[in-house]
A and B are shown apart, each in its own frame.
Chain A
Amino acid sequence: MERLERLINLVIALRETRRPMPAAEIRRRVAGYGQEDHEAFRRMFERDKADLRALGVPVETAALDRLGEEVGYRIDPKRYDLPAVRLAPDELAALAVALEATGLAQEAGTGLLKLGVDAGDPTSDLGRRSTGLGVDLAAPHRTELMQAQLTRTRVRFRYAPAGRDVSSRTVDPHALVHRRGRWYLVGFDHDRQARRAFRLDRISGPVRTASDAGAFPPPPDVSVDDVVPTVDVGRVQAEARVAPSIAWLVARRARGGGRPDADGWTRFDFEVTDEDVFASWALQFADEFEVLAPASLRARLVERVTAAREVHQ
């Protein structure tokens, strides 16, 4: 008998049984188990149970007597059945487009097909058409961390921040943030006793769970801008002049329009969060970009260019 057949029969039997079914009864009554010796049956049943649970089939273990010496198994139909979600055909189609654009169709397994059972139109093709849109969300550990965040499960991992030593961290995952092309985990760091952001691509090695689900209360405040850099946050006012060839390009990062300057150059104002980051960005334009103010930023640029000359003799 095929294993597939045995698994389907096990699901049906456990769903339909009135009282939890002890292993001996499963061996006797469910098609596919009978002919094995006791040890072989045990191994087979353990593996089937584990595989079903991995698929999300809620196989429960329940005590059959008050002492809990004998246990049985069952599947609660209420926990098995998908609740009615009732997506309209265009909503289902939009989800299909989203899975296609993000390249997550494989990872979503049969999720979309499950939702499709309730969604009216039997002929809607589930997004095998190309949309011409792509969003790259790839990052190591993303799925495990999202699961941990959703179920409020504490995690432990080794973290290697740029330029510093690797250390082990135990974190309550509060939020996952995708910003500027990177994924960040925001959570309470038990080793530092503070809220921190972690770049997913700097987690080294596996992410392990360090608690059961529901280990911490939902965080009251999930704003993340204080720990994850936003797209444009500026604190220092800066001014620069740029060559005509790149003025349009710089205008995209500047605050407000530019003002004409000598030789066809343009003056721009900027809001700068980190002078070093800004200096690095400006240096891609080399001599076509001149920082005018503040004096500290201008000095930083001169200092870095001078050092660059020295190490490239």
Chain B
Amino acid sequence: MSTPRTLQRLERILVMVPWLLEHPGVPVDEVCERFGVTRDEVAQDLDVLGYCGLPGYGGGDLVEASIVGDRVSVRMADFFRRPLRLSVREAVTLLLAARALAAVDALPESAGLARAIGKLQDALGVDADAGLAIDLRAPGDELLPLLRRAVEERRLVRLVYRSASKAETRQRDVEPWGLVAAQGAWYLQGYCRDAAGARDFRLDRVRDVEVLDEQVQTAEAAASPPVYEPDPDDVSVVLELDPPAWWLLDAVVADAVEERDDGVRVVRLRTPALEWVARLVLQAAPDARTLAPDDLRARVRALADATAARYHPPAG
């Protein structure tokens, strides 16, 4: 028994019938496009509807649903003139999405969104302002309007960018496809010609941007949160973390985290960027300590030595 599918079909029918009543004689293809279904599925739904109606189920009680000459017709279904009201979950989700996008400044959709939010809140009788706050501000977000235009116009972007993994600043030519807010930062996503691969660029690490005239032909990729994809060449790292350094677990993608009896957590991870991990450990030291590899311990030590020397210049 495929219950979830049955309920999905029921949900769809309860919203499709009011729409069909509102748009008599609409072409089948339009129904397919709007509800994301095939022509066969539309035909099957209409077929089921033809067996439904008021108790008695005689002539005049049943819904009349048919496809005539490629156009859809539904009659005798006045009880389904209105869609089912929004469930709490649907309403909450719509408001959340709208409020989140409204938190991004200066979008072409901003005005429409503001009006939609107002109407939704009125209809639902809620004042979501009172209980939901979404703040997407982050360093570097002043670049968003410029970069969003570059994404829409598919123009090549030349960045001067400081990479976190190598702690160096270089010029990169990027074919941009999206802008993503994730983990408290904004990222430009695209194909980096210098690295010959897809990359995420954190906007607060962008020193300069130039939008070039060149139009790019990058295949469209959906904007999605940056993810770390392990590579066989990555180095395995083991760290020991006291509670004050547990924030570090939010900054890395761990393979495993174990809590020992003494309350210390041991985290295992893999990374292509040992210099980046060394700086993370320095940031969290001495509550973070390197167990392996030796190369990482040496790097942390070298960074700490250099920093200490800045504060206590060697005599002479």
> Could you tell me which A residues sit within 8 Å of B by CB distance?
1-5, 7-9, 11-13, 15-16, 29-31, 51, 54-57, 77, 79-88, 90-95, 97-99, 101-104, 107-117, 122-123, 125-126, 128, 130-138, 143, 146-147, 149-151, 162-164, 173-182, 201, 218, 222, 224, 230-231, 245-246, 248-249, 252-253, 276, 280-281, 283-284, 286-287, 290, 298, 301-302, 304-313
B222–A130 contact, CB under 8 A? yes
B6 within 8 A of A: yes
Question: Chain B 237-281, CB within 8 Å of chain A: the 1/0 string?
Answer: 000001110110010000000000000000000000000000111
- A residues in contact with B243, CB < 8 Å: 162-164
Chain A nearest CB: distance from B304 CB in Å? Answer: 4
Q: Is B184 in the interface zone, CB < 8 Å from A?
A: yes
Q: Check A290 against B130 for contact (C-beta < 8 Å).
A: no
How distant is A6 from chain B, measured CB to nearest CB, in Å? 9
| A54, A56, A104, A222: residue with the most chain B Cβ atoms closer than 10 Å | A56
**B52 & A8 in contact (Cβ 8 Å cutoff):** yes
Question: What residues of chain B have their CB less than 8 Å away from a CB belonging to chain A?
Answer: 1, 3, 6-7, 9-16, 18-19, 22-23, 26, 30, 33-36, 48-49, 51-57, 79-80, 82-94, 96-98, 100-102, 104, 107, 109, 112-113, 115-116, 119-120, 123, 126, 128, 130-140, 148, 151-152, 162, 169, 177-185, 204-205, 207, 220, 222-225, 242-244, 246-247, 250, 279-286, 289-290, 297, 300-301, 303-312
Nearest-Cβ distance from residue A82 to partner chain B, whole angstroms: 5
Sort A-B residue pairs by CB-CB distance and give the 3 closest, nearest first.
A163-B243, A181-B184, A308-B285
Give the complex CA separation of A185 and B70 in angstroms: 52
**A150 with B10: CB separation less than 8 A:** no
Given contacts A82-B82, A150-B91, A284-B282, 18 further A-B contacts (CB under 8 A): A1-B51, A51-B7, A55-B10, A81-B83, A82-B83, A82-B85, A94-B109, A99-B97, A104-B96, A109-B93, A110-B90, A132-B177, A133-B101, A135-B181, A150-B131, A180-B138, A286-B306, A307-B285
Nearest chain B residue, comparing its CB with the CB of A17? B55
Query: Which residues from B are CB-within-8-Å of A230?
Result: 135
Q: Which residues of B sit under 8 angstroms from A143, Cβ to Cβ? A: 89, 92-93
A178 touches B134 (CB 8 A): yes
A176–B131 touching, CB < 8 Å: yes
Q: Tell which of A85, A128, A252, A310 touches B286, judged by Cβ atoms closer than 8 Å.
A: A310
A residues less than 8 Å from B7 (CB atoms): 51, 54-55
User: Chain A residue with minimal CB distance to B127?
Assistant: A218
How far in angstroms is the closest Cβ of chain B from A292? 10
Contacts of B128 in A (CB 8 A): 150
Query: Could you tell me if A55 and B178 are in contact, using CB atoms closer than 8 angstroms?
Result: no
**Pick from A111, A112, A178, A308: contact of B100, CB under 8 Å:** A178
| Across-interface contacts of A86 in B (CB, < 8 A) | 119
Q: Are B15 and A90 in contact (CB under 8 A)?
A: no
Verify B53–A12 contact, CB threshold 8 A: yes
User: Are A55 and B30 touching (Cβ within 8 A)?
Assistant: no
Pick the contact of B223: A94, A116, A133 (CB < 8 A): A133
- CB atoms of B162 and A287 under 8 A apart: no
User: Known contacts A122-B26, A181-B183, A248-B207: does B116 contact A87 (CB below 8 Å)?
Assistant: yes
Residues on B with beta carbons closer than 8 Å to the beta carbon of A29: 55-56
Chain B residues positioned under 8 Å from A311 (CB to CB): 285-286, 289
Is there contact, CB below 8 Å, between A122 and B52?
no
When A and B form their complex, what is the total count of cross-chain residue pairs whose Cβ atoms lie within 8 Å? Answer: 370
Among B19, B119, B185, B220, contact of A116 (Cβ-Cβ < 8 Å) = B19
Q: Which of A112, A138, A298 contacts B94 (CB 8 A)?
A: A112
> Which residues from B are CB-within-8-Å of A93?
109, 112
Task: Say whether A122 contacts B246, CB under 8 Å.
Answer: no
B286 and A146 contact, CB distance less than 8 A: no
State how many angstroms separate the Cβ of B79 from the closest Cβ of chain A.
5
Mind listing 12 A-B residue pairs with CB under 8 Å? A12-B53, A95-B113, A99-B94, A109-B87, A109-B89, A110-B11, A133-B178, A134-B180, A136-B225, A150-B88, A305-B282, A307-B285
Contact of B308 among A51, A83, A164, A305 (CB under 8 A): A305
Q: Which residues of A contact B54 (CB under 8 A)?
A: 12-13, 16
Contact yes or no, B133 A9, CB < 8 A = no
Nearest CB to that of A81 among chain B residues?
B82
Query: Which B residues are CB-close (under 8 A) to A301?
Result: 311
A13: chain B residues at CB < 8 Å are 54-55
B119 x A98 contact (CB < 8 A): no
Bound together, the chains give a CA A42 to CA B5 distance in angstroms of 23
Judge whether A108 and B97 touch: CB under 8 Å.
yes
